[in-house]
Amino acid sequence: MEARLNLFGSQTAAKFGKHLVSAGKVLADSTLPFATQELVKLRASQINGCAGCIDMHTKDAAHAGETAVRLNLVAAWREATVFTDAERAALELAEQGTRLADAAGGVPEEVWANAAKHYDEDQLAALVCTIALINSFNRLNVIVQQPAGDYQPGQFG
């Protein structure tokens, strides 16, 4: 399988990608826990059907010590007992922020309030930006049908 467009070979796409990666580095340096960031990226990528991002974030999280049980249960986090209340709030915000078209009016107030109970303002900002960023990466990969499966942890720096 080959992508419709080589995002790394296109001058415009490569330049755009560098800016997205730079934004990701800002978030990696935030106080939002790494595990939360990876769980949120994985859940949004599952919803969007982005095989490349699912591959990457599953492997990066596992490489950083995340357990297979938690990674395997992200898609069914509501019924899983392995996530903290804070992680559950972040996963709910990620789902609502990813599925904007499914609910007129955007993210419900109770979802935001629940996240705000667990994260300070800077962490909330990082959480919102993480959700926005992963959705951007998902859309790029899904549109061009980027193949997945060969990613190695840390491959993109």
pLDDT of the residue at 57: 96
Q: What value does the mean pLDDT of the chain take? A: 95
pTM over 0.85: yes
When pLDDT is cut at 50, 70 and 90, the band that residue 150 belongs to is: very high
Q: Specify if 117 maps to a domain.
A: yes
Q: CATH number, domain at 20?
A: 1.20.1290.10
When pLDDT is cut at 50, 70 and 90, the band that residue 1 belongs to is: confident
| DSSP-derived 3-state class of residue 1 | coil
Q: Which domain holds residue 23?
A: 11-142
**pLDDT tens profile 20-29:** 999 999 999 9
Q: Specify if 2 maps to a domain.
A: no
pLDDT at 104 over 80: no
Q: Specify if 147 maps to a domain.
A: no
Number of domains in the chain: 1
Contact 105/96 with Cβ under 8 angstroms?
Answer: no
When pLDDT is cut at 50, 70 and 90, the band that residue 156 belongs to is: confident
Distances (CA, A) of 70 to 26, 43, 75, 120: 25, 12, 10, 24
Q: Specify if 45 maps to a domain.
A: yes
pLDDT of the residue at 24: 94
- Cβ neighbours of residue 80 closer than 8 Å, sequence gap 6 or more: 70, 73
Q: Specify if 62 maps to a domain.
A: yes
